């Protein structure tokens, strides 16, 4: 036998079983497919026990805050994939936001969220950040009315991101295609004088995100989350 060869038992393949597409949040701790940002998944802001089969997320810092964000996300594993959820959220005013995000880092993300407008109406709004430059889409605001449960969906479709919502009468897509390339390692690289000074390395995520800018103790309840690769 050549010196660089070794014998090994002839064992059958034993692949790791794939994770279920839908997390019903029935366990008392987050599964290994979920990640959090800059702080552990602790009971001070995440709760899987207070309401069975729901993930309660207490609001954290603003979308550009770097200390205590309330983001629970799954790593994107394909150029075409989606995350879908159902959320219950009762914000007091415009300082409270909860929804679904296509996320790279603090400077680069797209976010569809529930909040209240200046008239006290519950609405869905869309917000994006590209290298820290934020963009609003006031023409795409959706009045939610008295819908107690709102379905939210984020879809990666190659170079674009699409968002959808369900107020109880079926899914509807927002009429906009957002740039998915801003959620890439290459876009996140820091270039100084034409040379890369720092590289992006985290990859893109799809996640559930909640903000409580007034520190009023608000939270959102997510009923389930379904991640699919298409």
Residue extents of the structural domains in the chain:
22-229
Q: For residue 190, what pLDDT is reported?
A: 72
Please give the CATH topology (third level) of the domain spanning 22-229: Jelly Rolls (2.60.120)
Q: For residue 18, what pLDDT is reported?
A: 82
Q: For residue 3, what pLDDT is reported?
A: 65
Q: For residue 197, what pLDDT is reported?
A: 53
> Which residues of the chain, if any, have pLDDT below 50?
none
Q: For residue 5, what pLDDT is reported?
A: 78
Q: For residue 2, what pLDDT is reported?
A: 66
Q: Which two tokens stand for residue 116?
A: 């209240």
Range 84-96 burial, b when 16+ CB lie within 10 A, else e: bbbbbbebeeebb
- Taking the complete model, does pTM exceed 0.85, yes or no? yes
Neighbours of 32 (CB within 10 A): 7
């Amino acid at each position: 036998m050549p010196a660089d060869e070794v014998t090994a038992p002839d064992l059958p393949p034993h692949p790791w079983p794939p994770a279920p597409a839908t997390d019903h949040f029935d366990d008392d701790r987050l599964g290994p497919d979920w990640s959090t940002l800059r702080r552990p998944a602790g009971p001070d802001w995440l709760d899987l026990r207070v309401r069975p089969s729901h993930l309660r997320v207490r609001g954290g810092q603003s979308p550009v805050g770097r200390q205590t964000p309330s983001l629970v996300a799954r790593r994107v594993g394909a150029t075409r994939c989606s995350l879908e959820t159902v959320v219950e959220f009762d914000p007091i005013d415009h300082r409270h936001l909860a929804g679904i995000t296509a996320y790279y880092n603090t400077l680069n993300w797209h976010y569809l969220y529930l909040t209240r407008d200046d008239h006290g109406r519950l609405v869905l709004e869309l917000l994006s950040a590209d290298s820290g430059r934020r963009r609003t889409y006031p023409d795409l605001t959706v009045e939610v009315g008295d819908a107690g449960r709102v379905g939210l969906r984020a879809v990666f479709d190659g170079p674009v991101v699409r968002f959808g919502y369900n107020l109880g009468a079926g899914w509807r897509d927002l009429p906009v295609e957002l740039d998915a390339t801003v959620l890439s390692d290459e876009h996140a690289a820091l270039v100084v004088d034409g040379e890369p000074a720092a590289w992006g390395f985290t990859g893109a995520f799809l996640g559930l995100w909640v903000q409580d800018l007034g520190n009023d103790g608000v939270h959102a309840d997510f009923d389930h989350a379904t991640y699919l690769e298409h």
